[in-house]
Amino acid sequence: MTEQQNRWGDLTGVSLTKGHGTGNDFVFVTDPDTQLDLTPELVAAVCDRHFGIGADGFIRAAKTSAINPGVEGADDQWFMDYRNADGSISEMCGNGVRAFVEYLVTEKLIDLAEGERVQIGTRAGIKTVGKTETGYAIDMGPWGFIDGDAARENGSDATVSARGLHTPRPALSITMGNPHTVVMLGSDGKLDGLGLETAPKVTPTPPEGTNVEFVVTEEIEDTIAETGETTIGAIRMRVHERGVGETLSCGTGACAAAAATRFWGGEDAPDEWLVYVPGGTLAVTFVLGPDELEHVVLAGPAEMVGKVVLV
Ligand SMILES: N[C@@H](CCC[C@H](N)C(=O)O)C(=O)O
């Protein structure tokens, strides 16, 4: 077999599905027992937008018991085995979880009616996902400051430089299971002028890298304001993702951006947020979890696009 014929390795002849959540796109494969050898090179080749299928991320539907042997009661639980477009592994992907559940439903691997919930294994712990009228809502668990003390005292713990910004801006590092650095550009900030084709420079540089979100505050759209709901905040966001580049949306990024904006807003800041991203709109809500910690709930759409068999 020539090198050209062998370029898809274990994925040769395998049916893959393409789907997305607010334009953050993924390739899915079902491999419950993790028999496929998903090397970083193979994943990067599949995600290549010119020579592969093209996607921001690659998700294997595995069983939790295959990824984490010995987890009690996990035999029947599906695990989102997520990789970035460059082949690197990330702990968590918010848009990915919604799209993953839609994939499981489409493939008839699970049944899920509106109002029902399913538990999904991820490297950032088990997430409960509910089917809503328009998509899925995920309990993402608690958010946290990566550098607790500095963040709480100063409201920032890093600076970010990017093309289109004249000076480095203060930023806040937040974990959603994966790392984020959120930069507030203010209500009159210019998102469109940012050059995110190159990675923003974060100082100090996080050892494991970070996803960087740029945020401006937004007026709530008229239709929502007219309902008299004054308790909803709104932000617009662009993101440069670790291991990917600029994407049309990032679910964990939307959660981190809403958490940072709410923290900067002080005690009166709302618990409900709309996050407008280039690929659509996400809803982020802060609620008290069953463990008495503040949890983040991420809601938004997800859809499958089609199937490809690699030749
Ligand atoms: N797009 C995702 C986040 C994917 C992982 C990220 N690039 C990382 O390396 O942490 C989302 O929707 O959350």
Q: Is 87 in the pocket of ligand 1 (CB under 6 A)?
A: no
pLDDT, position 162: 96
pLDDT, position 179: 98
Which tokens go with 279? 């690929």
- Residue 291: other Cβ atoms inside 10 A: 9
Q: Is 300 in the pocket of ligand 1 (CB under 6 A)?
A: no
Q: Tell how far the Cα of 301 is from the centroid of ligand 1, in angstroms.
A: 16
Which residue has better confidence, 89 or 226? Answer: 89
ipTM exceeds 0.95? yes
Report residue 229's pLDDT band, with 50, 70 and 90 as the boundaries: low
Return d(Cα 71, Cα 126) in angstroms, integer.
11
Q: Are 166 and 241 in contact (CB under 8 A)?
A: no
Report residue 5's pLDDT band, with 50, 70 and 90 as the boundaries: low
For the ranges 3-17, 82-96, 251-265, the lowest mean pLDDT is seen at 3-17
Cis peptide bond N-terminal to 200, omega within 30: no
Whether the pLDDT of residue 24 is over 70: the answer is yes
| Domains of the chain, start order | 9-141+302-309 (3.10.310.10), 144-285 (3.10.310.10)
| Closest to 182 (Cα-Cα) out of 166, 163, 164, 162 | 162
Residue nearest to ligand 1 atom 2, measured at CA: 93
Q: Compute CA 92 distance to the chain's CA centroid, rounded to the nearest angstrom.
A: 7
Q: Is 298 in the pocket of ligand 1 (CB under 6 A)?
A: no
Read off the DSSP letter of residue 154.
Answer: H
Residue from 56, 92, 182 to probe ligand 1 pocket by mutation (most atoms less than 8 Å from CB): 92
pLDDT, position 189: 72
Q: Are 103 and 28 in contact (CB under 8 A)?
A: yes
Question: What is the pTM (predicted TM-score) of this model?
Answer: 0.95
pLDDT, position 73: 66
Report residue 129's pLDDT band, with 50, 70 and 90 as the boundaries: very high
For 167-216, how does the pLDDT look when each residue is reduced to its tens digit (9 = 90+)? 999 999 999 999 999 999 977 678 999 999 999 999 999 999 999 999 99
pLDDT, position 285: 98
For the ranges 98-112, 147-161, 244-258, 276-290, the lowest mean pLDDT is seen at 147-161
